[in-house]
Structure 1
Amino acid sequence: MMAKIAIILTPHFADWEYALIAGTGRPFYGLDVQFFTPAPGELQSLGGLTVRVPQGLEAMNQWAPEVVVVIGGTLWESEDAPDIGEVLRAHHARGAVVAGICGGTLALARAGMLDAIPHTSNEAEYLTLNAQEYTGAEHFCPSATAVSTDRVITAPGVAPVSFTAAIFESIGLDQNTVLQFKNMLAAEHN
């Protein structure tokens, strides 16, 4: 049975933060990757890509993915950011991994999921300034790569490779396969 990964997009989502999950997870590793949004319909990415996401969060609840991924974007920093805390907590409570990158970490912080565990984001002040509910500053790790603790994965926006690798590890993808994925994407820097 294929592992299921739900990717939550919002208007002005960050193109580079989901690309490796969907672009390699589905065709190369046989993962079932589907997209969801708090308000179904057409969305435009930060890069200008227009997508149609017909599935709302209630459909994600019925689908019951192993991993729920919140992609960053400028909406998370605004007053118009949707409150998806109940959905995130419910999926985590039933055993799913919940992951947030860049602005997506704000959704996790607002849901109280970062208050008591090691985590990261763009920077500590990013969380304290944009998520008034957040009380986990003492657990913040100033990491340039993803941090994974207790089925919660967080990453700054500059870390889509380690974020994707942590997600792949969380669903049980073979360690050699994950290492090959990391090495392939790091090859241009050697």
Structure 2
Amino acid sequence: MKKVAIILTQGFADWEYGLIAGAGGPFYGLDIRFFAPTAGEIRSMGGLSADIPEGVEAIRAWSPGVIAVIGGTIWETDDAPVLDDLLLAHHSRGGVVAGICGGTLALARAGLLDNVRHTSNDADYLHRHAPGYAGSELFQPAPEAVTDNRVITAPGTAPVGFATAVFESAGLVRDAAEAFRRMLAAEHAGGAGK
């Protein structure tokens, strides 16, 4: 099975990881595990409590193909965890690094967005919250996920595209990943609900 590590933090965004975890393992056979900067109980933005038994230091030994950093309120504060070494080492070993919404700030702080096409909530968001961010010329004002050189980024409004890009990067056949995306996008196609 292909492995995907999902990093959650205090105040994580409930809607940004759910499709990866809820469909990735049960329907697509991916091995999904959750990690936190420090093992223990965390709470989502919506109030969900989760006991995460492993801290991010355990990710290296587990050796996933993809590390997905989920957004949340902490990324915009001084309490944001520093994941630079972990993310840079994973990417340099050939792994995929993904970030959605506030999770893109972790990638920007590590310098992973300086030389690849990428997106986020908006370009100013990266400049405001990621000192040293130097990738503004490669920023894509895209409403969906952007993948370039094993780096996946997405705004917080694109959990479907983010999950699809993570699935494909984890080895899911492109046709199956696209079928997943189309299935979830069908709600918005052709004037649904009229």
Paired residue for 1:66? 65
Paired residue for 2:154? 155
State the secondary structure of the residue aligned to 1:92. helix
- Aligned-pair CA distance for 1:57: 1.2
Paired residue for 1:34? 33
1:120 partner letter = T
- What aligned pairs does 1:37-116 form with structure 2 within 5 A after superposition? 37-116=36-115
Is the Cα–Cα contact under 8 Å of residues 5 and 64 in structure 2 kept in the other structure?
Answer: yes
State the secondary structure of the residue aligned to 1:52. strand
**Are residues 1:123 and 2:110 paired?**
no
Query: More deviation in 52-61 or 148-157?
Result: 52-61
In structure 2, C-alpha distance between the alignment counterparts of 1:44 and 1:172, rounded to whole Å: 30
CA-based RMSD of the aligned residues comes to: 0.7
1:94 partner letter = R
In structure 1, C-alpha distance between the alignment counterparts of 2:159 and 2:46, rounded to whole Å: 16
**Are residues 1:4 and 2:3 paired?**
yes
Is the Cα–Cα contact under 8 Å of residues 2 and 64 in structure 2 kept in the other structure?
Answer: yes
- Aligned-pair CA distance for 1:172: 2.2
State the secondary structure of the residue aligned to 1:55. coil
Paired residue for 1:170? 169
Post-superposition Cα deviations, 1:140-189, rounded to whole Å, max 9, x if no partner, equal: 00000000000000000000001111111112211221121011101111
- Aligned-pair CA distance for 1:134: 0.6
Query: What are the ranges of 5 or more consecutive residues in structure 2 without an aligned counterpart?
Result: 190-194
State the secondary structure of the residue aligned to 1:138. helix
State the secondary structure of the residue aligned to 1:86. helix
Is the Cα–Cα contact under 8 Å of residues 152 and 166 in structure 2 kept in the other structure?
Answer: yes
Paired residue for 1:179? 178
Paired residue for 2:22? 23
Query: What are the ranges of 5 or more consecutive residues in structure 1 without an aligned counterpart?
Result: none
- Aligned-pair CA distance for 1:17: 0.3
- Aligned-pair CA distance for 1:100: 0.2
User: Under a length normalisation based on structure 2, what TM-score does the superposition of the two structures give?
Assistant: 0.96
State the secondary structure of the residue aligned to 1:51. strand
Is the Cα–Cα contact under 8 Å of residues 4 and 170 in structure 2 kept in the other structure?
Answer: no
- Aligned-pair CA distance for 1:54: 1.0
User: Under a length normalisation based on structure 1, what TM-score does the superposition of the two structures give?
Assistant: 0.98
2:169 partner letter = S
State the secondary structure of the residue aligned to 1:143. coil
Aligned-residue sequence identity (percent) comes to 60
Question: Structure 1 segments of 4 or more deviating over 2 A?
Answer: none
- Aligned-pair CA distance for 1:4: 0.2
